[in-house]
Amino acid sequence: MALSFQAYSIQPVLDNFQKKVEALESVSEGLLLGLADGTLLLLKPDPLEPQGKWQVSQTFRNVCKRTSTQLQIWSARALLLVIAEEGLNAYHYPSVKLACQAGRSRGVHKFVLDEQRNMLCLAVKKRLMLFHHSGNEFIELKDFSLPDTPVALQWVGDSICVGFKREYALVHAGTGAITEMFSVGRASGPCMVTLSKNELLVSKDNVAVIVGPDGRTTRKAGITWSDTPSAMVIARPHALAVLPAHVEVRSAQRESRHGLAQVLSIRDVGPIAASQGADGSVFMALLGDGSIRRLSPTPYDRQARSLAAADEYAEALNMAALMPRDQAQERTALTDELHIQYGHHLFGQDDFEGAYSQLALCSYANPVILLRLFPSLTSEALLDPLLPSLADLQLPESTEPNGSAREQAVSALLPYLMSHRSRLAAMQSQDSTGSLASHEAGSEPTAPSAPDSATRLTPAMRPAAGCAVDTAILKAMLVMSDSGALLRFVQRPNMVDLEEGSQALRQAGRYSELVALLQSRGLHEAAMELLQALSQAPEQLDVPPQGASAELKGVTGAWAAVRYLVEVGAPAMDCIKLHVRWILQADTEAALEMFMQMQPPLEPSYVMPILAAQDASLCAHYLEAALRNGIASAAAYDTELAHLYLRLALDKEPQQLKGDSSSGDKDASPSSVHISAEEASRRLNELASTSEHVDPHKLLNLLPANGLPHLRAVLLERLGRHQEALRVYVHTMHDSRLAEAYCDRLYDAAVEARRQSNSTAGTSAPAANGRTSRPGSASGSAPAAKWAGLEEDPSFRMYMALIQVYLEGGHSGHKEHPAQQQQQPDSAAWGEVARLLSRKHDRIDPLQALGLLPDQVSLKVVLPFLEGALRAAGEQQRNAAVVKSLCRAENLHLREDITRSKQRSVTVTQERACHICHKRIANAAFVAFPEGGLAHYSCYKRDTGRASGGYIASRPGSAHGSSPPVYDISG
């Protein structure tokens, strides 16, 4: 059963009119009636008639000799087309004087006009005639034969739809081709009306289908009437049909879902005509009592509201769009109201995307309309300050969906909330820019208190709206599955309400997002406490961690805390001091990386006390990395690093982190952090021997009497006290291998220093960060020689000093020459001396070595050294003899070459030419090339840039030998 609405109201035009009306035509100033006797009457409203009835304004007699069955006004040409006895006549309007007549049109009973192409189609018996109006007359174009007499005609595109008594056909206006369409069904005859230029409403039974120029339907659904229509008329946006029992009104835009229609109790309807004006009236002549009725359209706003009351929101919006331009403000308000009602209606039907789309079509973008749909996403405390922006609207009540429908609704809602968020951010940015411009201009910025038309929000409401929208976005993302979008959202600048956002995140177990939210608000202490709980004791939290926070237990949580503190930077120094202990317990590398990655870098003076409170080894690790990465300067911190190494080298037992207990992380072993005494001693030795910033005097004074002998030897070497360094290696460490390597290193350094001092090339530049290579290397030989004092004493002999130390026999306090000592060295010392003399005989002067030996030493002990020294001397003598012989042979060979070159002769004839300039040699000085070619001396000099180069230069004409040739043997 169709629902009713009021689209038209019936108003009387004429009552009890005694003459029969055969044709109606609406004109701009009134209504034109064609009577049975051929008279035309013009009706106009009577201003004195309270009931709005009309009166006859003008009568045109003898227009037709018989009944005129069809009238039509051609407004563009100011013509009135009338079917007369003699054919189709065209009269000037409003004078109603004959203008022209269509030839051979006698007997016409139907015509249809195409105003755009000035084409006229006439139905004359079983023929179709096409005419073109040239401006003064009708010109016949074509004449087509038909199988039957047409009853109805309508243009559709380039064709004419012809309605016969039982069927419809399509006739092409260019070719005359006839295409059968379909039958009229149960109707007594055809019924059709033009819907648009290329669409036609054609009735079959009780359904009016919409066809195109090809005769096929263009829409899936047409218009279904309650009975078979006898006539139809289009008065947009409605279509009216004359049915046997009444007149029915339906939408011409689309088929109503509920069969929405208006039924007008009018029977026995004769001619019908739609108004040519903008009011959309329809006129009908009643056959029973001869009266004429006007169907006056109900105001569009009332129609729209009645349609909305019937849940026909799409039709209501179409109706509201028809409101006149002078009611633009009322039309906008009504359209917004309908969009809101339509959106709430679709929301109740679980069509969430459609609902949000309708709400977004409002002329203003107010987020409160969306937020009211989801009380769980925004509390009343956030929403109440925004409700005054919609105080003049009657917002429908709605129920928030549950279950899977809620997740679907929230997922569809999120893009719209993001759009509101971007819009509010842009408006606040404009407000800030305006305030800044006013400040620069020297005037006080004045914030407008009136709401803007885009959102209906006042400037004071915008921050609250941004807070409500961001909080709703956060809660909406919690409803959806975790994709990482929520974490990215809270990491960026936002206006989420801290209390509501924190509570929602805690209840959902989304602690990683909560940490990011706390960080954005500057609550670093609370964020670090939460990270500590997630890393150390996540099981003690009220809600188990979910999402990314579920993976933060143990070392992962420590690294998360490090990343947090690195992002915050220097302002988080208090947090670093409070939380560095548990981070160190979880992962020492993470804690040290934290200090290294700070931007801007933290001064080591800030970091060292924090680490020193835990373990000195951590300070050493940190300083090593800081010096390596350039955060700390070697000049300032090499000595402090050496003191740390010294303290660790003297500490025999590894220490636990201060404040650590057995309840800490079992994976964090103190031994993995602490530097052992052996490792510290090794690093200290390397630092002392490579850094020019470590003061050897101060460090030597800090050494215990019998501790760290290797370091003592290194420091003595730096100070140039080689004799004492050798005594440490030999008498304290009892390691002759190290003592001999020490001498080898300094010997090579001294040789390299002498070579560099004699060379024209510059010395090697020191390495970066104030460090040099270990003495003995190619790049560090010059600094090693400088440290060792060899530059001041280049005649110093290290191996002699080592022999002297060996012969001291552990009595290093003796200062007399060993040769003057009457002490007998032990056999072990003699053995070391003997082996040294045997291995290094090429570097030791035999005479000086023998002078160091005591008088009581036996020949057997020094025999290997003497044998080696003699063999070395003999080998040097033989090598010198071989070199002398080679040099003599080379000298003889060179003399032979000179003699051979002097014996060469060159003959110059008059035809000999220079192979450079290709001119004759003549009497000029020339150069003879080894391959036989000749060249002018000047050409040769100009070509090669030198006077001669191993060639013969002579003058032609002189006999060979009469004047000595010139030779150049420099090459």
SS3 sequence, 250-296? EECCCCCCCCCEEEECCCCEEEEEECCCCCCCEEEEECCCCCEEEEE
| Residue in this structure with the two tokens 């209606």, named with its chain if needed | 345
776 dihedral zone (left: phi>0; alpha: psi -120 to 50; beta): left
Angstrom distances, CA of residue 423 to CA of 188, 419, 446: 61, 6, 22
d(CA 750, CA 760): 17
Point out the least confidently predicted range of 30-44, 611-625, 917-931.
611-625
The Cα 281–Cα 296 span in angstroms is: 5
The lowest-confidence range among 81-85, 455-459, 595-599, 854-858 is 854-858
Percent of the chain with pLDDT over 70: 85
Greatest mean pLDDT among 60-74, 182-196, 699-713, 771-785: 182-196
420 CB burial (10 A radius; 0-12, 13-18, 19+)? buried
Overall average pLDDT of the 314-339 stretch:
90
Are the CB atoms for 219 and 259 separated by under 8 Å? no
CB crowding 80-99: b at 16 or more within 10 Å, else e: bbbbbeebbbbbebbebeeb
Mean pLDDT for 326-348 is 92
* Mean pLDDT of the 947-965 span: 41
Q: Give the C-alpha separation, 119 to 81, whole Å.
A: 13
Over residues 653-657, the mean pLDDT reads 49
* Range of weakest confidence among 143-157, 260-274, 329-343, 509-523: 260-274
pLDDT value, residue 338: 94
Q: Which tokens go with 936?
A: 């002018």
Section 148-168 average pLDDT: 95
Tell me how many degrees the CA angle 893-898-904 measures, rounded to the nearest 5. 130
- Of 646-650, 652-656, 720-724, 744-748, where does mean pLDDT reach its minimum? 652-656
Q: Residue 638: its pLDDT value, please?
A: 85
Q: Report the pLDDT averaged over residues 300-317.
A: 88
According to the model, what pLDDT value does residue 454 have?
Answer: 78
- The C-alpha atoms of residue 536 and residue 303 are separated, in whole angstroms, by 69
Q: What percent of the chain has pLDDT over 90?
A: 39
Q: Which of 58, 119, 120 is nearest to 83 (CA)?
A: 120
Q: Check residues 611 and 787 and name the one with the higher pLDDT.
A: 611
C-alpha 382/C-alpha 500 separation (Å) is: 10
969 touches 950 (CB < 8 A)? yes
Note the helical H segments in 374-491.
Answer: 380-383, 404-441, 462-479, 485-491
The pLDDT assigned to 474 comes to 95
pLDDT at 262 over 60: yes
C-alpha span between 581 and 660 (Å, rounded): 8
Stretch 701-726: mean pLDDT: 86
Number of neighbouring beta carbons within 10 Å of residue 924: 15
Q: State yes or no: pLDDT of 74 exceeds 60.
A: yes
What are the residues whose beta carbons fall under 8 Å from the beta carbon of 933, sequence distance 6 or more?
Answer: 915
Residue 449: other Cβ atoms inside 10 A: 8
Asked whether the bond before 324 is cis by omega within 30 degrees of 0, the reply is no
Strand partners for 180: 169
**What is the spatial order of strands in the sheet that 8-14 belongs to?**
8-14, 292-297, 282-286, 269-274
Task: Give helix then strand counts, H and E, for the chain.
Answer: 29, 31
Of all helices (H) and strands (E), which one includes residue 163? strand 159-163
pLDDT band at 348 (very low <50, low <70, confident <90, very high): very high
Strand-pair partners of 98: 91
Q: How many residues can be counted in the chain?
A: 971
- Cβ pair 150, 128 in contact under 8 A: yes
The C-alpha atoms of residue 939 and residue 532 are separated, in whole angstroms, by 91
Q: 231 pLDDT exceeds 90?
A: yes
Q: Residue 935 is encoded by which pair of tokens?
A: 């060249």
How far from 163 is each of 96, 831, 905, CA to CA, in Å? 31, 138, 129
Q: Looking at residues 212-240, what average pLDDT do you find?
A: 90
Among 962, 963, 910, 955, which residue's Cα sits nearest to residue 936?
Answer: 955
- Residue 593, pLDDT > 70, answer yes
Residue 873 identity (one-letter amino acid): A
Q: Cα-Cα-Cα-Cα dihedral of 737, 741, 747, 751, to 10°?
A: 150
| CA 522 to mean position of chain CA atoms | 27
Edge-to-edge strand order for the sheet containing 138-145?
Answer: 108-114, 119-124, 127-133, 138-145
Q: What does each C-alpha distance from 334 to 395, 405, 502, 681, 687 come to in angstroms?
A: 13, 30, 41, 89, 85
| Average pLDDT of the residues in 619-628 | 85
Residue 784 has pLDDT above 60, yes or no: no
The band of 477, judged by pLDDT with boundaries at 50, 70 and 90, is very high
Task: Give the confidence band of 907 by pLDDT, cuts at 50, 70, 90.
Answer: confident
Label residue 956 by pLDDT band (50, 70, 90): very low
Name residue, tokens 């004409």.
Answer: 957
pLDDT of residue 576: 84
Nearest one of 519, 558, 554, 559 to 539, comparing CA atoms: 554
What pLDDT is stored for residue 822 in this prediction? 42
DSSP state of 302: H
Backbone torsions φ then ψ of 435, nearest 5 degrees: -65, -40
Question: For the residues 257-286, what does the mean pLDDT come to?
Answer: 83
Residue-level pLDDT at 659? 46
Tell me which of 245 and 790 has the higher pLDDT.
Answer: 245
* 486 and 477 Cβ atoms separated by less than 8 Å: yes
Highest mean pLDDT among 15-19, 310-314, 494-498, 779-783: 494-498
CA distances from 845 to 124, 833, 865, 866 (A): 146, 14, 11, 11
Q: How far apart are CA 85 and CA 70, in angstroms?
A: 12
Say how many C-beta atoms besides its own lie within 10 A of residue 906's C-beta: 15
Q: What does DSSP say about strands 108-114 and 119-124: parallel, antiparallel, or unpaired?
A: antiparallel
Alpha-carbon distance of 126 to 162, in angstroms, equals: 11
More confident residue, 657 or 260: 260
| Structural element, H or E, at residue 22 | strand 21-27
* H-assigned helices in 290-403: 300-309, 313-320, 328-348, 352-360, 368-371, 380-383
Peptide bond into 396 cis (omega under 30): no
pLDDT in tens, 171-220: 999 999 999 999 999 888 999 999 988 999 999 999 999 999 999 999 88
How is residue 453 written in tokens?
């038309």
- 56-65, 156-165, 751-760, 955-964: range with highest mean pLDDT: 156-165
- Mean pLDDT for all residues in the chain: 82
| Alpha-carbon gap, residue 880 to 858, rounded angstroms | 33
Retrieve residue 795's tokens: 């005649």
- Listed in sequence order, the residues at least 6 apart from 765 whose beta carbon sits closer than 8 Å to its beta carbon are none
Contacts 24+ apart (CB under 8 A), 427-431: 427/452, 427/454, 427/455, 427/462, 428/462, 428/463, 428/466, 431/459, 431/462
Both structure tokens of 55: 């009166």
DSSP for 805-859 reads HHHHTT-TT--S-GGG------HHHHHHHHHHHHHTTTTS-HHHHHHHS-TT--H
Q: Please check whether residue 50 is in contact with residue 59, taking contact to mean a CB–CB distance below 8 angstroms.
A: no
Alpha carbons within 13 A on the beta-carbon side of 347: 29
Question: Amino acid identity, residue 566?
Answer: V
Residue whose structure tokens are 């051929």: 38
Strands 178-183 and 167-172 turn out to be antiparallel
